[in-house]
Amino acid sequence: MPEHSHKPHVTVIIPTLNEEGNIRKVMGGVKGVLNGTDYEILVVDGYSKDRTVPIATSLGARVIYDSRGKGSALIRGFHEAKGEILISIDADMSNEPKEMKLLIDSIEIGYDICMGSRFITGGGTQDMPLHRRFGNRVFVILVNAFFHAHYSDLCYGYRSFRKDKIRELALKENKFAIETEISIMAAKRHLKVIEIPSVEKKRDSGDAKLHTFSDGWSILRTILVNLVQR
């Protein structure tokens, strides 16, 4: 990863909470794919109690902290990033680093946001029990109907952004409703959005931080609040 006193072209934002078993592999994958690209890795850590931060630092990541949840970590990342193209990728090995190439290309050819989708041809998931799949589908239908959008997926965090556009969205969701909020705000502001197929794997090691039912409720709340504010 090149040293940066100047501005890199791409910032890879990785939210982390206790991911010591995964972060080395995720960063290795990112570096392998972006070798030759001008980029930085920005880890936004939720005060992990394990060795996530020392490992990330030793591998050359810039580390900042945020205590309020995954959404808040991403929002901080969007504001701290030095690159012009931003990528959000999970720290648990569930996203395939190779897909970053297309995420970057999509912004370079003029899209504002590129969203990985597990539910278009070529996409898939090995990590979605039936109840989550059902919830995600219902939320997709609601968001498309209420906000005149055409999404095929919603609660999935592997995405890329044109920095000035994502910063304009005035995002507020601190937790796992952040992806839903981004999708809704992008539709409201008529941003140029494209979906690309993405295959989600099971997390490699460690525990999930998302709680299907409480986080599901907060996603529904996000949809309804934005509907009222339309």
**Residue 203 binds to ligand GTP (criterion: CB under 6 A):** yes
Mark the segment that binds Mg ion (CB under 5 A) among 7-15, 89-97, 158-166, 190-198. Answer: 89-97
**Using CB under 6 A as the criterion, what x/- string covers residues 51-90 for binding ligand GTP?**
---------------x--xx--x----------------x
When the beta carbons of 58 and 212 are compared against ligand GTP, the nearer one is: 212
Burial environment of residue 110 by CB neighbours within 10 A (0 to 12, 13 to 18, 19 or more): exposed
**Residue 15 binds to ligand GTP (criterion: CB under 6 A):** yes
**Core vs surface per residue 147-178: b (16+ CB within 10 A) or e:** bebebbbbbbbbbbbbbebbeebebebbbbbb
When the beta carbons of 37 and 94 are compared against ligand GTP, the nearer one is: 94
Nearest CA to 94 out of 58, 134, 53, 124 is that of 124
Detail the DSSP E strand segments found in 121-167: 124-125, 159-162
**Using CB under 5 A as the criterion, what x/- string covers residues 182-211 for binding Mg ion?**
---------------------x--------
Which residue among 96, 105, 127, 204 contacts ligand GTP (CB under 6 A)?
Answer: 127
